[in-house]
């Protein structure tokens, strides 16, 4: 006979209360589908690409209308608050001082994946799509390719484009185009 195991899922509110009480460590975890998930350690390639993207995005025009958020939380639902490597957010006067950004505030989310490609594609991508994030880039360092996903439909994206060196990554709705060769070294 199979044993039925009950899980107690956490809400974002409970997760934050645990953080304020000092129960949770500050780095290396995120709330996904009501569960606290330990994130993969960040290696040198991953860190370098996130830093490089930060530099590139900082220099692009139109940044006055957006906030470039590096490895900070975005609340997708009552049960999920991932910390994408980069989120380009709608600018607010208070820069999200009084509350964390929500999915509706995100214009583009970028995950850089060295060892977490499957996790980002199979777990995070559906969450980003379900929450209505208009565009998601998965920078796949294992295969040296950028997967651009656009137009969320349910728990997937309607369009997927693979970009390699020689291509240009362009974000719709933003004045943003980056030669892939600048990102994938």
| pTM to 2 decimal places | 0.93
So what's the pLDDT on residue 61? 61
Task: For 143-171, give one letter per residue: b (16+ CB within 10 A) or e.
Answer: eebbbbbbebeeeebeeeeebeeebebeb
Question: What is the pLDDT at residue 59?
Answer: 81
Return the closest-CA partner of residue 57 out of 42, 47, 67, 46: 67
DSSP 89-148: EE--TTTTSSS--BGGGEEEEEEEESS-HHHIIIIIHHHHHHTT-SEEEEEETTTTEEEE
Q: Mind listing the domains of the chain with CATH numbers?
A: 40-183 (3.90.1570.10)
Please give the pLDDT value at position 2.
74
CA angle 60, 57, 98 (to 5 degrees): 110
CA distance 67 to 76: 17
Which pLDDT does position 5 carry in this prediction?
Answer: 79
pLDDT of residue 60: 75
**Mean pLDDT per 10-residue run, the chain (185 residues)?**
81 94 88 94 94 90 80 97 96 93 97 95 98 98 97 97 96 90 91
């Amino acid at each position: 006979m199979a044993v039925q195991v009950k899980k107690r899922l956490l809400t974002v509110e409970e997760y934050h209360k645990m953080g304020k009480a000092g129960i949770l460590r500050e780095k290396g975890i995120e709330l996904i589908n009501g569960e606290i998930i330990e994130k993969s350690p960040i290696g040198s390639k991953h860190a370098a690409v996130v830093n490089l993207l930060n530099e590139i995005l900082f220099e692009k025009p139109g940044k006055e209308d957006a906030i470039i958020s590096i490895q900070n939380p975005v609340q997708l639902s009552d049960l999920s608050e991932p910390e994408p490597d980069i989120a380009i957010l709608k600018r607010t006067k208070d820069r999200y001082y009084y509350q964390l950004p929500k999915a509706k505030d995100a214009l583009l989310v970028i995950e850089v994946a060295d060892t977490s490609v499957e996790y980002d594609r199979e777990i995070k991508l559906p969450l980003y799509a379900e929450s209505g994030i208009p565009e998601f880039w998965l920078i796949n360092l294992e295969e040296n390719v950028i997967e651009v996903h656009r137009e969320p439909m349910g728990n997937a994206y309607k369009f997927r484009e693979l970009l390699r060196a020689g291509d240009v990554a362009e974000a719709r709705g933003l004045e943003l185009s980056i030669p892939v060769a600048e990102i994938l070294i």
